[in-house]
């Protein structure tokens, strides 16, 4: 395992950041997210492997693979937050610390978005800080890693 690599996982529809509902999600793109996470991780000597998919199985495979060479995971599961037991099982199964990130304030939105299958397992949860929340998630997650 690489103590210096983080897996960045972005779930369904996050490839549309910057164009999808900019009043909710802002104007920054997924490329901006990857650049921000990479730069923030580099502050502590970490590199980032990024994956985004609209397919749950691709995300689960990436999480499984992370157990071999990553120290932790930063994940924005998108709508899978509220529906995916199998995503929760994958994160629990690899037993890596992870940060759950949401660009919007899911607790101020539709009621079905108030529940997360992941939050109770997460080392860090950042909600409603826009794309900048990814940077805070990385810093807090890295700080929580064993020395």
Is 64 annotated in a binding site? The answer is no
pLDDT digits (tens, 9 = 90+) for 32-42: 999 999 999 99
User: DSSP secondary-structure letter at 117?
Assistant: S
103 assigned ligand-binding residue? yes
CATH number, domain at 130?
Answer: 3.40.50.9100
Instruction: Tell me whether residue 102 is one of the annotated catalytic residues.
Output: yes
Q: Give 5's pLDDT tier (boundaries 50, 70, 90).
A: very high
DSSP 8-state symbol, 14: G
Residue 10 annotated as lining a ligand binding site: no
Q: Is 25 a catalytic residue?
A: yes
Q: How many domains does the chain have?
A: 1
DSSP state of 103: S
Catalytic residue among 46, 102, 117, 134: 102
The predicted-structure confidence for 47-106, as pLDDT tens digits, reads as follows 999 999 999 999 999 999 999 999 999 999 999 998 899 999 999 999 999 999 999 777
Residue 139 belongs to domain spanning = 5-144
């Amino acid at each position: 395992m690489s103590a210096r690599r983080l897996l960045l996982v972005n779930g369904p529809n996050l490839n549309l950041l910057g164009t999808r509902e900019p009043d909710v999600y802002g104007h920054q793109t997924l490329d901006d997210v990857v650049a921000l996470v990479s730069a923030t991780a580099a502050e502590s000597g970490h590199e980032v492997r990024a994956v985004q998919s609209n397919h749950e199985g691709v995300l689960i495979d990436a999480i499984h693979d992370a157990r071999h060479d990553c120290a932790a995971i930063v994940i924005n599961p998108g709508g899978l937050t509220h529906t995916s037991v199998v995503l929760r099982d994958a994160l629990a199964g690899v037993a890596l610390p992870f940060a759950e990130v949401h660009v919007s304030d899911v607790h101020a939105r539709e009621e079905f978005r108030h529940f997360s299958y992941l939050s109770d397992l997460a080392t860090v949860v950042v909600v409603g800080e826009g794309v900048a929340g990814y940077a805070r998630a990385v810093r807090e997650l890295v700080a929580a890693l064993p020395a």
